[in-house]
Structure 1
């Protein structure tokens, strides 16, 4: 791939336009280039002095890794920003479309309302027209009291005359705009129109209309005016709730004109956006841009061409939330196997950094061995000083890499946790909005005079005919509102009078005994309703099951039916919970992973719904019992949960209702929370087998008799050998296996023309094999000149101490050396190369001595 150069480094073309806005990339770039400048000076000094010539290769490796790291960081910043914005855009348009789907059904229901149609058919010259108009306005007020999503309900004559309306502040009496004739002529279930209209004072409005008909034909037009401004303001508030949120969300029509904007000062309604990719310029300002079209709901896609657009000013688009990438996330990342979470390149960066550092450690270790071997030569002191400075600079480079990698990983983890919480909020918002409609539907349909008369007629001569009429009404309603598996009406004894589904006519005549039945019949206020617990219901059976065999859990919404001031029965709505909750959770799941799980959980721990077949509805949720107990309405939390050996990022959001729905209700065991689980990975088992901290040699002292020691770690302990017994550390040697060899003898390697046995010192001393594939191998020699290769975990310092400071160890030749960190009593065990031969089958007496002399850490 062709690269684009920026400030001396190559980057992928897709991130090049954004680099000057990526402060995090510049911060790490400057630190790395500054240290590499120091490295260049050290390499030059090494070449001039004839020492440390190998560090040039390490410098090249670090430079290549710098390029990979910074490019990966830039691409991840870009992708995270776009993913976050695209998620907001998708949520904005999908929430709106779900809402508007209900409006397409409302206009179909209300268009067959008896009093409304009667008034539309009445001659305006009729003496009772004024009284009928006043009664209809009161009826509209009753409807909109339950559905506050409408700001007006209007009835027009076929000639465009205003026959009645909810909001009579508008003086207009007639409207002949072309869309009215088009709506009157339409046979579609609804007519949808957005634009300015004189009916509403010339303002922009989203109207759902349907022709009113009787036996003679079209008698009028019903228009429902949706509160689009109010609805989008609520959506924008929810999606831009973060304290540092700088994005602007817009609703666009098919011509990319802005219909609604979260910030009219930046992007005003009426403007046309030049959408031509992920980066646009508008009003002299550069933005990162993401758009989304509707996913659709129940086959409805919303007004044609509408989409949501999220714009973030480029100067803010790539800011990193420092609060989300702290020590806690760093510790979590270090404790998990995150291979499923991070891409191959990101996984490879720390491995490559570790490989480079191992090679550097080997180079420096060998250099210090040589310098200690030439202690009598004048340049040894300079060489040691130079090597120490190289080691210090290499350590600083490694630290910058580790910080950058840790920040990358922590930021990625933070994005997962933020995403889980965002999607949980989305899920519970979808649920609240959906159940708001259910609570309103039962109260709205209870106003239908045909159902009221049918229940009032029970026990009289027209009981059977009235029940048949009620069935037709329910069947018509259920055809419009497909989210219910069954609608039914029942009399004051709880006996089912009519149902919406002829295939479930077996319920007719059944006396309902559930607690919600009596509660509904006891209601006198038409603004109130009742809802069942989420539990298995005989009214909601598994399709295809033997009758009564499988009752599924769901909600039943109900209220009383009143006629002439008296309760004559009730209406109940059986929510089709299984597919509807499944659709809600599916909409809340992120697109990029199929492993995430979404749950609706009651406060008492019962599962209302689950996207994961492992946890079916009605069973206990796989969550701690106390997780939801203290969460207030609208409260959220993010946490980590371990389920079945997998650690998940969990976002939890408790229901807070929507508009009037559940407003001010007391805390209950029936409260529902959404839980979004995103897998992070399994826990890493045990420790790494590396020393818990570096061994710090004691301060150098001038003495006549000194001992040079080369240190290394094995199994978490610090060990060493006299430098004079060591030849060098070698780079990832190829081993030849030996059949039937002791476990500690892992093979043979070729070194300077000889085949040497390779001893895994961790296995030999502590029974723990060194698992790192690129673990260092050091070459030492027996007192008789025989060579031996020893595999260790890490290389340590090469240093000198007075011989007297090497304390004898009981039972053998091993000695103990106290480090400079006396507060922690860190010790190094000084071995002898001859003792190592005991572990490959030579000298059983030496083997026993060595085993006693080398204590486990």
Structure 2
């Protein structure tokens, strides 16, 4: 990866231009640089006194790690910010395209409406009555009352004359627009036109047009004007929420701004460069720097819209000035999140701990050497006395300061890593909550269309007359033509006033004809007397969906008015093809993280649909039922739950309807909610989650006699040895296997020309080995026998008063024959002081119990 130098450190080229906008970087760079300055001073003192160990390699390692850490921090911030903007810009254009796809079907359906065709034919024949246009205008109002996404409906003659209009005052009497008239070309299902139009009094709009054919071949054009601004500005507001100072825009194929959420920042008509240019995600517009992402349409059912794109921008000075997300407080605790972060980020804390271990080993050896020079006999001078220990004490003080500085460096690294993980987790919870809201928003908008479709088609004069006259063949033909336009349905059917099926849209379902339908929705539809009303079934089997007709589904139904008025001729039912359609909606809202899943569930906790085969319709939802039942309309929450041995972040969003669809409805067990799951990782045990142990802090030495103690951690318990018995802490090196050795003996290791046995204190004392990261200590007994101890972690080398040692009150297990003494420290910790002679006896006893390894084998290897 190419790096450039900024602020004295190497950074990736993608983030180097953005560093000035990242205040969090300075929060960690400054203390790291201060500590490295202190390190240089300590190194100089060590060289002048000759007391300190060489720290050059450790300093270089920390300096290199500082560069990696800050670069990772910058790249993670950029990734989180870009991911947030990219997701929202993609959602903006994809939701629009789904919406516009429905408009292409609407214009095709309405263009075949019998009253439109009749009026067009009457105009061609010169028999148009004075009230015909007003009658058609009322019909347009009936349609638009059910579909509030339109603000103008116009029927034009082939020469552009206005024949009828929803809002005649806005529409010119003659519309000369060859783009609209292109709908008359053979094979042209529809045209979509954006820009100023005579249909709208010269205002700009998005218009869908389709050819209308009269009975004797007369032609005209039906035009539907979609409320683009109304739709997009509401969507922009929802998507910009939570992203400070952000702007969402809709751009045409030439890159000009068609709509903007903030015209004061990005005005209409402005040519806006795409994101992802030579400056990465940064663009300059009107003298201001922005972080920006751009998204083209993903397409829906093969439809990609007019070639538009959505772009989201956030001023650079706000893009990274983020507070820790509140929703992660108290969540995602003690979770192994390694799968969420890249290898370099995961390696930084590991490398910091490795450097710290090497530093601790080096300082340990320095302290042991200083103590040995000061007290060759292993005991200190009497209180108030003076001897050569003065220089040793200075050396130990200096080494302690070096260790403290190294520990501070490590702590800064760990805080920064925790901040990175916290920020990443915050982005995950924000994303999963957003994806849940997105999923239910897509579902709401889709079901809005379904509720409107059944009411639109109930107004079809052909269906009304066919039902009234018992013409099943005509009804089937009309249903088939409608079904060809609207591909999201499994079946369309009409039924008579007794609930018997008269006709179906799919010839393969002809066996349904004559069947008497059952269910509350059937009688509900036949009881309607208002064309603005509809009914919907529970998501349950009704015999109309699936291979055997027993799969659960949603059925929307409305009453079909009798053409003579005053009563119903029957009803129309539309069976939503929920399994593939809901799955497609959920997958459109799915996070990119592997293993993510999205479900549509009822408030009662029953799965309606899932993107994941682990859940089938009718299963119980993994979402907490209490939260489902209490969640209000249009509300969403995030949280975590455990599933298949892994902690999952979840976003749960309850439906609140869309536009006039299911708004302000009382809570119902059949209310739908979207649940999005994203795996975080397995829950760690309490010990595994604690990466570092609280240090053992000794009390000040008391009494005339002192003892130097070398402390270490084994199985999360503080142990120690008299420092005179410890020769050195070794660099991590390969242990040679010793076949047939006892379990507690790891193998052999070379030291000063000898092969020494390696005794795992964790395995020996507690039956739990110290692990691959164990520190190795070379020790000797009073008779000069040497062995190596594998311990969990090095502690301090310190002075204790011998009078402070006390005998252990118990002798459990391994301590039964040992001279175990205890030393109280500050706080709750106790240190158990061992003796190498006792450990030698223990390992010799273990060896003697093995048929293959004898005591003499161990003694031969370890003898001096």
Scaled by the length of structure 1, the TM-score of the pair is 0.93
1:852 equivalent in structure 2: none
- Given that 1:489 and 1:496 are in contact with CA atoms closer than 8 Å, whether structure 2 keeps it comes out as yes
Q: CA deviation at 1:429?
A: 0.4
Which deviations, in whole Å up to 9, do the C-alpha atoms of 1:405-461 show, x marking residues without a partner?
00111111111111111111111000000000000000111001111112212xxxx
| Residue 431 of structure 1 pairs with residue 436 of structure 2 | no
SS in 1 for 2:678: strand
What residue number does 1:498 align with?
503
DSSP 3-state at the match of 2:687: coil
Q: Does structure 2 retain, via aligned residues, the 8 Å contact 1:325–1:411?
A: no
- Of the three residues 521, 528, 531, the one matched with 1:523 is 528
Task: Tell me the CA shift for residue 325 of structure 1.
Answer: 8.1
Q: Distance in 1 between matches of 2:366 and 2:556?
A: 81
Matched, 1:565 2:566: yes
Q: 1:194 to 1:317 in 2, by over 3 A?
A: same
State how far apart, in whole Å, the 2-side matches of 1:213 and 1:117 are: 6
Range moving further from structure 2, 486-495 or 340-349: 340-349
Using the TM superposition, give the Cα deviation of residue 215 of structure 1 relative to its aligned residue in structure 2, in angstroms: 4.0
Task: Kindly tell me the number of residue pairs found equivalent between the two proteins.
Answer: 823
Verify: 1:832 aligned to 2:831, yes or no. no
Cα deviations by residue, 1:189-235 (Å, 9 ceiling, x for unpaired): 11111111122121111000011112433431110000000000111
1:513 maps to: 518
User: Could you tell me which of 306, 309, 312 is aligned with 1:307?
Assistant: 309
CA distance in 2, matches of 1:467, 1:28: 77
1:538 CA displacement: 1.1
Residue 82 (structure 2) pairs with residue 79 (structure 1):
no
Correspondences of 1:411-422 after superposition (within 5 Å) = 411-422=423-434
TM-score by length of 2: 0.93
Structure 2, unmatched stretches of 5+, are 375-387, 812-817, 851-864
CA distance in 2, matches of 1:643, 1:54: 51
Partner of 2:585: 584
Are the counterparts in 2 of residues 713 and 719 from structure 1 also a CA contact under 8 Å? yes
Match of 1:388 in 2: 400
Aligned residue in 2 for 1:853: none
Report the Cα offset of residue 81 of structure 1.
1.4
Cα distance between partner residues in 2 of 1:346 and 1:260: 40
Contact 2:742 2:846 in 1 (8 A): no
Instruction: Say yes or no: does 1:443 pair with 2:446.
Output: no
In the TM superposition, residue 328 of structure 1 has moved relative to its aligned partner by: 2.8
Matches within 5 A, 1:729-808: 729-771=729-771, 773-808=772-807
- Which residue of the other structure, out of 281, 284, 287, is the alignment partner of 1:281? 284
Corresponding residue of 1:555: 554
**Structure 1 equivalent of residue 634 of structure 2:** 634
Tell me the equivalent position of 1:403: 415
- Secondary structure in 2 matching 1:319: coil
Deviation track 1:641-689 (CA, whole Å, cap 9, x = no partner) reads 1011111110111111100110111101101111111111112245249
What CA RMSD, in Å, does the superposition of the two structures yield over aligned residues? Answer: 1.9
Report what 1:6 is aligned to.
6
Is 1:472 the counterpart of 2:472 in the alignment? no
Report the Cα distance in structure 1 between the residues aligned to 2:800 and 2:230, rounded to whole angstroms.
Answer: 79
The within-5 A match list for 1:304-343 is: 305-324=307-326, 328-329=330-331, 332=332, 335-343=334-342
- What secondary structure sits across from 2:245 in the alignment? coil
Answer yes or no: is 1:540 the counterpart of 2:545: yes
Bigger shift: 617-626 or 201-210? Answer: 617-626
Q: Measure, in 1, the Cα distance between the counterparts of 2:45 and 2:329.
A: 39
Q: CA deviation at 1:326?
A: 5.9
> Residue in 1 aligned with 2:368?
369
Give 3-state SS (helix, strand or coil) of 2:390's partner.
Answer: coil
Judged with a 3 Å threshold, the aligned counterparts in structure 2 of structure 1 residues 843 and 15 are, in CA distance, closer, same or farther, namely closer
Q: Does 1:600 align with 2:600?
A: yes
Q: Displacement of 1:636 after TM fit?
A: 0.6
Query: Does structure 1 conserve the Cα–Cα contact (< 8 Å) formed by 2:325 and 2:426?
Result: no
> Which range is displaced more, 17-26 or 227-236?
17-26
CA distance in 1, matches of 2:437, 2:756: 63
Tell me the CA shift for residue 2 of structure 1: 3.3
What does residue 723 of structure 2 align with? Answer: 723
Q: 1:690 to 1:100 in 2, by over 3 A?
A: closer
Change (3 A) 1:204 1:552: same
Which stretch of the first structure deviates more once superposed, 798-807 or 252-261? Answer: 798-807
Question: Do residues 813 (structure 1) and 819 (structure 2) align?
Answer: yes
Separation of aligned partners in 1, 2:587 and 2:787 = 62
CA-to-aligned-CA distance 1:82-119 (integer Å, 9 cap, x gap): 11111111100000000000000000000011111212
Whether the 8 Å CA contact 1:561–1:569 is kept in 2: the answer is yes
Shift of 1:252: 0.6
The 5 A counterparts of 1:620-769 are 620-685=620-685, 687-688=687-688, 692-701=693-702, 703-769=703-769
1:257 aligns with 2:256: yes
* Aligned-residue offset at 1:485: 0.7
- The structure-2 alpha-carbon separation of the partners of 1:532 and 1:327, relative to structure 1 and needing over 3 Å to count, comes to closer
Larger deviation, residues 472-481 vs 513-522: 513-522
User: How far does residue 240 in structure 1 lie from its aligned partner after superposition?
Assistant: 1.3
Cα shift at 1:802: 1.7
Report the Cα distance in structure 2 between the residues aligned to 1:294 and 1:495, rounded to whole angstroms: 43
Q: 1:325 to 1:529 in 2, by over 3 A?
A: closer
Equivalent runs, 1:221-232 vs 2, <5 Å: 221-232=221-232
Which segment drifts farther, 776-785 or 797-806? 797-806
- Provide the rounded CA distance (Å) in 2 between the counterparts of 1:126 and 1:370: 115
**TM-superposed deviation, 1:378:** 3.4
SS, match of residue 69 in structure 1:
helix
1:378 match: secondary structure: helix
How far residue 56 of structure 1 moved from its aligned partner, in angstroms, is: 2.0
CA positional deviation for 1:79: 1.6
User: In 2, Cα distance between the equivalents of 1:82 and 1:800?
Assistant: 55
* Alpha-carbon separation, structure 1, partners of 2:691 and 2:593: 35
Matched residue, 1:484: 489
Of residues 356, 380, 390, the one that matches 1:378 is 390
The structure-2 alpha-carbon separation of the partners of 1:326 and 1:401, relative to structure 1 and needing over 3 Å to count, comes to: farther
**Paired residue for 2:217?**
217
